[in-house]
Amino acid sequence: MTTSSKSPLQQLGGTVVLAGAGKMGGALLTGWLAQGLDGGDVVVIEPHPTDDIAALSARGVRLNASASDVGAVSTLVVAVKPQMFADAAAALRGYVGPSTLVVSIMAGKPIAALSEQLGGHVVRAMPNTPAAIGRGITVAVAASNVTPAQRSTADALLRATGGVEWVEDEALIDAVTAVSGSGPAYVFLLAEELARAGVEAGLPEELAMTLARATVAGSGELLHRSDLDAATLRKNVTSPGGTTAAALEVLMAEDGFRPLLTRAVAAATKRSKELAK
């Protein structure tokens, strides 16, 4: 018995249509091609393609091919902006057959709405922006009619930009959106405010931003590589009675970081639920 050396994407087979090649859709496409998906099996629907996307035609990627020209589609990946979906849905439905897998990365669009407007077998997913460098995290949930093989296909396509976690309860996607979908913005805000606080403490602005960026990026990488949890890593930096302890007394006070972030995540979760209505 021999084991195939091909990557999961090289073994997909069938045509993959990507609707929307903006930042997230473009990151997915780049990841697919880098991991061995044949460009000839990919169709991109993008009314305003960048030069980089248009150049992929040299690798066999078909740009804005009609549904009739494409023929049977095994997978449609929907990466259009949610506010554009109502206008795009009618045209996209033409690419969906009874057995087509539909993978949506749009925020606020539940499986029921996607199934009604597009048909097919729907997987709803929430990625985040570190997907652009292959370090994203995506959480996905499958409709009841998605087959094990289709789930594996969705996993392979989504995993091209980072890790993938699966949940069985679609209701969790709202909190997922608030934590990992919106989470990069919270981290970037931390870098902004750390730099600003450094300036307030007397540092030159350029040095403060350099220190803040490097500290946030390096700490994130340490957390990524370490087997220790975040709380242990935090404690390892904190000497009793030292400078870090003094700062953490402020950040971990009753009105500090925990209640603030709890309110922020709750607000984002609420908004995600509102968008789904």
Residues annotated in a binding site: 79-82
| DSSP three-state, residue 127 | coil
Look at residues 73, 67, 82 and name the one whose alpha carbon lies nearest to residue 153. 73
Burial of 93 (0-12, 13-18, 19+ CB in 10 A): middle
* Phi, psi dihedral angles at 35 (to 5 degrees): -100, 15
- Give the sheet arrangement for strand 136-142, strand by strand: 62-63, 42-45, 16-19, 75-78, 101-104, 121-126, 136-142, 162-166
The H or E element that residue 55 is part of is helix 51-55
* Phi, psi dihedral angles at 141 (to 5 degrees): -140, 140
| DSSP three-state, residue 167 | coil
Query: Is the torsion defined by CA of 162, 155, 72, 13 positive or negative?
Result: positive
- List, as residue ranges, the binding site for NADP(+): 79-82
